[in-house]
């Protein structure tokens, strides 16, 4: 009984020491240039086809300052007064300065909007490392005359061929004809995975069992 009590106290002491020394994992916001499409500033109900920080390919896209209730039944932008738009076939992409890191949980959050005066297409929200797709949202949301939030998470392994490559965000609109999807408030957070205290506990128990066998 005394041996068991001493062993439990030793395990607890080791865990407390490890928890005090281990760094606390905190989310770090990765910089996204013009993340809510506020630049360039355009008038109410107006739009532009050039967006600083973003590359447009495949079709018509840009920044839009919606007029409510003409374009949306509620708010027309979830952060600021403008959003990004992509007509059918267009892609808004941005290669970030942040590099793909091992043992890190990435969370990509994007608000997806449906204009009440246009047909809502299918869409893709994608996170790449180099040329490799890590995670995507393939039209999981169907906003109705407003915005819904898409959240994607990806936990990077300890080893990956794209480690050290730039991260890239792609916002795509698919479909055909007069269709449009709107995007706003694009955010990307990274959280390094903390050391596992459970693994440390297993090691501590194994050590104590080994010590007990020696002393008995």
What CATH number does the domain containing 141 carry? 2.60.120.260
Q: Is residue 82 part of a domain?
A: yes
Task: Identify the pLDDT of residue 100.
Answer: 99
Residue 110 has pLDDT above 70, yes or no: yes
Task: Identify the pLDDT of residue 82.
Answer: 98
Q: Is residue 41 part of a domain?
A: yes
- 74's tokens: 């509620």
Letter string b/e over residues 204-213, b meaning 16 or more CB atoms within 10 A of that residue's CB: beeebeeeee
Residue 208 has pLDDT above 90, yes or no: no
Q: Is residue 16 part of a domain?
A: no
Q: By the 8 A CB rule, do 189 and 28 touch? A: yes
Structural domain boundaries enclosing 128: 30-192
Q: Is residue 212 part of a domain?
A: no
Coil/strand/helix, residue 15: helix
Element spanning 87, H or E: strand 83-87
Q: Is residue 213 part of a domain?
A: no
Q: Is the pTM value of this prediction over 0.85?
A: no
Q: Is residue 115 part of a domain?
A: yes
Tens digits of per-residue pLDDT, 37-95? 999 999 999 999 999 999 999 999 999 999 988 899 888 999 999 999 999 999 999 99
- 134's tokens: 């890590």
In the chain, how many domains are there? 1
Q: Is residue 197 part of a domain?
A: no
Task: Identify the pLDDT of residue 199.
Answer: 46
Task: With both helix axes pointing from N to C terminus, report the angle between 197-215 and 2-21 in degrees, rounded to the nearest 10.
Answer: 150
Dump strand ranges (E) for 88-122.
91-99, 104-113
Q: Is residue 198 part of a domain?
A: no
**What's the mean pLDDT in 190-213?**
57
Rounded Cα–Cα distance for residues 79 and 83 (Å)? 8
Rounded Cα–Cα distance for residues 156 and 161 (Å)? 11
Q: What is the DSSP string of 18-46?
A: HHHHSPPP--EEPP-TTTT---S---TT-
């Amino acid at each position: 009984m005394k041996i068991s009590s001493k062993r439990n106290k030793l395990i607890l002491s080791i865990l407390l020491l490890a928890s005090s020394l281990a760094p606390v994992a905190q989310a770090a916001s990765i910089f996204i240039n013009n993340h809510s499409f506020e630049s360039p500033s355009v008038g109410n109900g107006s739009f532009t086809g050039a967006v600083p920080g973003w590359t447009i390919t495949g079709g018509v896209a840009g920044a839009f300052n919606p007029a409510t209730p003409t374009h949306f039944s509620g708010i027309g932008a979830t952060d600021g007064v403008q959003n990004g738009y992509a007509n059918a076939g267009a892609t808004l992409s941005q290669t970030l300065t942040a590099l793909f890191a091992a043992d890190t949980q990435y969370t990509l959050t994007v608000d997806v909007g449906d204009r009440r005066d246009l047909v809502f297409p299918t869409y893709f929200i994608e996170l790449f490392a180099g040329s490799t797709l890590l995670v995507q949202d393939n039209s999981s949301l169907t906003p109705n005359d407003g915005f819904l939030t898409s959240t994607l998470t990806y936990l990077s392994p300890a080893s990956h061929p794209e480690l050290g490559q730039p991260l890239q965000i792609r916002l795509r609109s698919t479909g055909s004809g007069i269709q449009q999807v709107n995007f706003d408030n694009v955010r990307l957070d990274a959280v390094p995975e903390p050391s596992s205290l459970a693994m440390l506990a297993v090691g501590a128990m194994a050590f104590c069992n080994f010590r007990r066998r020696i002393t008995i």
